[in-house]
Chains A and B, each alone.
Chain A
Amino acid sequence: GAGVSQTPSNKVTEKGKYVELRCDPISGHTALYWYRQSLGQGPEFLIYFQGTGAADDSGLPNDRFFAVRPEGSVSTLKIQRTERGDSAVYLCASSPSGTSGIYNEQFFGPGTRLTVL
């Protein structure tokens, strides 16, 4: 079956512009996560959705970052007034449920590489 998909694969923008990054999770997965991976680092948590609601947005760095998942499937990460420091790979992951135990394998998409010039 289809895995997690993310579009675009690459996005180049200018400082101050607005960008949207899209994540299409595995069908039926209720939990969706966004991570940011800077060069040479491990992914860092941004936000977690359970269904349509953001259950935990504690990782969003500031109010320029916002994410939605209006119908409980596709999610969009929105970044306003982009800064050069926002340049990173943005990873999306989904899992069948966010509420089951500890073992909760997250399936990752290929990421969107964002470059802010």
Chain B
Amino acid sequence: NAGVTQTPKFRVLKTGQSMTLLCAQDMNHEYMYWYRQDPGMGLRLIHYSVGEGTTAKGEVPDGYNVSRLKKQNFLLGLESAAPSQTSVYFCASATEGHEQYFGPGTRLTVT
């Protein structure tokens, strides 16, 4: 039981490049979330999903897209990366209960 895993762990992009971050969970959780963490700030919700095939916008969705084609996977896409998207990205998943379990994070630098 690996819990929540994220791929890749680190990435450096040039401005304008695209990439996809993968989040996978093996706990059969319905809810999945993408957050970003910037220095001196708490985590901010980008997008979330309440089940396979559903997605919704969080607090800071601009510049990102998501897909939840399979229950266990939640993908975060950056179509045209900008330096303002330099951040640490965390994925989380939860059941019908209220405990969110977090992945180890992806550190993204956009130059």
Chain B associates with chain A: no
